[in-house]
Amino acid sequence: MAQQRLEFPKNIFPIIFFGVLALIFISKSTVTIEAGEAGVLWKRFAGGVVTDEPALGEGFHFVAPWNKVIIYEVRQQELTEKMKILSSNGLDIQLEATAWYQPQVENLGTLHQTKGENYLERVIKPAIRSATRSVVGRYTPEQIYSSKRDVIQNEIFDETKKIIEDQYVQLNEVLVRDVTLPAAIKDAIERKLGQEQESLEYEFRLAKAKKEAEKQRIEAQGKADANTILSASLTDKILQDKGIEATLQMAQSPNSKVIVIGSGEGGLPIILGNN
C-alpha cells in the first residue's frame, strides 16, 4: 500500500507569516496602565514627548508600535533622608526627615521631558536637603531638641515646597522623625531642662502659698469687719426689743413657765420654766 504524503495548502505559509506579524503588531500596539499609575506618550515621528495632552490614565490603550509609553507611579510616595547638619552655633546634628510627595499628573509629560523618570534624585532629594540645612542652621541644639521641633518641621516643609513649586512635583508633607545630638550636648540640655523644671515647680508652690495666705488674710479681715459692724449696731434699745420679741414667742409656747416682767438685767423679763 502506497504511503500518502501530507501536503499543506500552498497559501498557508503567507497566512501564518501575516498572522505572526499581526500578533507582534498588536502586542506592540497595546499598553495596560495599572491602578495608581499614569502614562506619558512619546511619539517617534510626531515631536517626541506629548505635553499638550493629558497623560494616559488607568486601563487598556492602543498605541502605534513605533511610539512608546513611559509609565509613572502617581500615588503619594515616601522619601526618608538622614542628614548631618550644623546648628547655629556650629555643632553637628543628625536629623531624619520624611517627605511625602507625588508627581503632578496634569504636568506629567513636562516632568518627563524636563526632569525624567529619576526626578526623585534630581529634584526632591536636593530640595529637602537644602531646605533642612537652611532651617536647622537658624537654631541652637537646645531649641531643636526641645521646643522648636514642630516649628522646624513646618519651616522645612515651606522652604522645600518653595524650591520645587515650579518643578512639576507636589509636596504633601514633611515630618521630622528623629533628632540626634552629641551625647555631651544632650546630657547638658537635659540637666538644664531638669533644673528649669524644678525652678518652675518651686515658683508654682511659692505662688500657691502666697495666694492661700492672702485668702486667709482676706477672710480674717472680713470676719473682723463684720464683728465691728455688728458690735456697733447692738445698742441697749435694740437688745431690749430683741428680748421682748423672744419673750413673746416663748410665752406662746405650750410648755409651762413663769415669766417675771422687768426683773432681768436691763429690765428684761426672767423666764422660769417647769424644768
Q: Cell triple for residue 162?
A: 518653595
Sign of the Cα torsion 206, 210, 213, 215 reads: negative
The model's confidence at residue 129, banded by pLDDT at 50, 70 and 90, is very high
Cell 520624611 belongs to 98
256 touches 274 (CB < 8 A): yes
Residue-wise pLDDT for 82-92, tens only, equals 998 888 877 88
Coil/strand/helix, residue 146:
coil
127 touches 99 (CB < 8 A): no
Q: What is the pLDDT of residue 76?
A: 96
- The helices-and-strands tally (H runs, E runs) of the chain is 8, 10
Burial of 97 (C-beta count, 10 Å sphere; 0-12/13-18/19+): buried
Q: What is the pLDDT of residue 82?
A: 92
Tally Cβ neighbours within 10 Å of residue 57: 12
Helical axes 149-164 vs 125-136, angle rounded to 10°: 140
Of the candidates 100, 108, 99, which has an alpha carbon nearest to the alpha carbon of residue 37? Answer: 108
Q: What is the pLDDT of residue 126?
A: 95
Burial of 166 (C-beta count, 10 Å sphere; 0-12/13-18/19+): exposed
Residue 167 predicted with pLDDT over 50: yes
Name the least confident of 11-20, 60-69, 116-125.
Answer: 11-20
The winner for highest mean pLDDT among 27-41, 180-194, 222-236 is 27-41
102 touches 172 (CB < 8 A): yes
Q: What is the pLDDT of residue 154?
A: 93
Average pLDDT over the chain reads: 79
Where helices occur in the chain by DSSP H, the ranges are: 12-28, 108-114, 119, 125-136, 141-145, 149-164, 183-233, 236-251
Cell 512608546 belongs to 68
Task: Say if pTM beats, i.e. exceeds, 0.85.
Answer: no
- With a pLDDT cut of 70, the percent of the chain lying above it is 65
Residue-wise pLDDT for 223-253, tens only, equals 777 777 766 666 666 666 666 676 667 666 6
Would you state the CATH architecture of domain 77-181? 2-Layer Sandwich (3.30)
The domain spans of the chain are 13-73, 77-181, 236-273
Residue 12 predicted with pLDDT over 60: yes
